[in-house]
Structure 1
C-alpha cells in the first residue's frame, strides 16, 4: 500500500488533460455529472433561495468541473487546488472563476475572507484520514455565518454496490480502495463544529458491468430521495453541512 499523500497525487504534467479525457469517455461518470448538476441546482435553491450574492469556494477544484457549474449560478467563485497541472486544464474551461494554486493546509490565502458556500468533490474519500481532518479544520473557519459545505462521498460503503465491489476486490486479492459511510462523514464534520443537514442520493442504481439508460438511473435517485434512509444507499451521495445551531 502506498505511503504517498493524496496531496501529491495529481501534480504530474498533463494530469489534468488525462483526467478530463477519462471522464469524458466514461458513461457512468457522465451520468453522475449530470445528476450532480441537478443536485447542486436543488441545493442552491433549498439553502440560498433567491440570493444573488453567494460567494463560493471550490476546494480541491481540480480541472474545474464543479467550478464550471458554480460560476454560472453564484456572484463569485474561487477555485483552489495544490496541482498546477489540474489548474492549467481548468483555465481552459472557466470564465468567471478565480483560480488559486495553494495548499490551504500549509498557509491559507483566504485568512481575511469568508464564503457562503464551500464545495469539495472527490476529495474526502480519496484523502487519507489525517488529510481529511486537516482539510476540514482549514475549511470550517472559512464558512460565513449561515454558510454551507457541500461535498460528495463518491465511494459510499453504505451502498449495496460498493459493499459488493469491496468484497470482490478482497476476494481477488486487490488492494483495498478507500470508502466512507454516511455515519463517518457525520463524525468528520462534527469534529469541526458542523452537522449534516441533508443527503442527496446520486448513483443509487448501479449494476456491475451493465450500462442502463440514464432515465432509470435518474428515476432510482429520485425515488431514493424520499428519505435519508434510502438516500444513504446511493454510491455517490452529496451531503450538505452547516455549523451546529
Structure 2
C-alpha cells in the first residue's frame, strides 16, 4: 500500500472500498484470510497465557471494521463493544455477531463516546495504515481507555524487516513508499503513550503468493516453529501485547 496523504479515517467510508475489503482483501481464499487464521491461533494463545476469563472481560475492538476480530472474540468475553468511523463497515459487522454492541463515531476526536475503561482492547490493521499523527493520537486515547492491568493487543501488518524488505528498498529508489513499520517504531509508539510491551508474536513468514501451494496445516506448523526463534522479528505481521506502565 502506498503512503496516503489523506486522513486514514476517511479511507473506508466509500461503499465500494468496503465491499472490496470484505470480498477481496478478506475474501474466502485470500492471503490475508489465511493470515487471519494464524492470527486467531495467536489470540487464543494470548487468552490462555494471561488466564483471561470470559466472565471478567470488558472488551473494546477499536477500528473494528467489518467485525472480523470482534466476532471471533465476543464469546470469550463478558461484554464486547466495537467502534469504527464507517457506518458501511459496521453494517457488515452486525450480522456476524449476536451480542456485541457497535458504535459509529470517531473516538479520537470524541472520547466521550465511550465513558468506561476496558480490560481488553484490540486494534488490528489500523496503526500501519494511519498517518503518524493519527497513530499517536489513537495510541494515546487507547492507553487512557485501558484499565489498570488490562491488555491492549495491536498489530502491524507490514514489518519493514520481513520478506518485503527488498520491495521496500526498490520503492524507495523510485521515490515511492510502502506503508511499513519496524518493531522498534511500533514498540516506541506504545512506550511514548505510557504502555509497555508484555509480549510479542510474529506471523507471516511465508510470502503471501506461496500460500496457495501449501495446506493450512503445514503453514501453521511452520509458522509456529519459526515464531519460537529469533526469526520472529522478521515476520510480516507483528502482534504486540501491551499493558500500562505504572512505574
TM-score using structure 1 length: 0.91
Q: Can you list the C-alpha shifts for 1:23-67, whole angstroms capped at 9, x where unaligned?
A: 114431121111111111111111234452111100000000001
1:162-201 correspondence runs (5 A): 162-170=164-172, 173=174, 175-201=176-202
Secondary structure of 1:139's match?
A: helix
Distance 1:52 1:80, change over 3 A: same
Describe the shift of the 1:199–1:236 C-alpha distance in structure 2 as closer, same or farther (beyond 3 A): same
Q: How many residues align?
A: 242
- The answer as to 2:48 corresponding to 1:36 is no
Question: Does the aligned pair in 2 maintain the 1:203–1:217 contact within 8 Å?
Answer: no
Structure-1 residue corresponding to 2:9: 7
> Is the CA contact (8 Å cut-off) linking 2:4 and 2:131 kept in structure 1?
no
Q: Deviations over 1:189-232 (max 9, x none)?
A: 001110111111211222656743123321232112224x3211
* TM-score, normalised with respect to structure 2: 0.90
Q: Does 1:221 align with 2:223?
A: yes
**RMSD over aligned Cα atoms:** 1.9
Any runs of at least 4 consecutive aligned residues in structure 1 with deviations exceeding 4 A, and if so which?
207-210
Contact kept, 8 Å, 2:127 with 2:156, in 1: the verdict is yes
CA distance 1:220–1:209, shift in 2 (3 Å): closer
Residue 129 of structure 1 deviates from its aligned partner by 0.5
Show the 5 A alignment for 1:16-165: 16-22=18-24, 23-50=26-53, 52-159=55-162, 161-165=163-167
Q: Is the partner of 1:56 in helix, strand or coil? A: strand
Query: Where do 5+ consecutive residues of structure 1 fail to align?
Result: none
C-alpha contact 1:59 1:80 (8 A) present in aligned 2: yes
Q: Deviations over 1:116-174 (max 9, x none)?
A: 11000000000010000000111101111110110111001121x12022134345x37
SS at match of 2:213: coil
- Cα offset for 1:178? 1.0
Q: Is the 8 A contact 1:67 1:79 kept in 2?
A: yes
State the match for 1:233 in structure 2.
Answer: 234
Per-residue CA distance 1:171-194 (angstroms, 9 max, x = gap): 5x3731110111111110001110
Unaligned segments of structure 2, at least 5 residues: none
Q: 1:239 to 1:212 in 2, by over 3 A?
A: farther
Closer/same/farther in 2, CA of residues 20 and 117 from structure 1, 3 Å limit: same
CA 1:4–1:77: 2 relative to 1, 3 Å: same
Find the aligned partners of 1:89 and 1:35 in 2 and give their Cα distance: 22
* Distance in 2 between residues matched to 1:145 and 1:32, nearest whole Å: 31
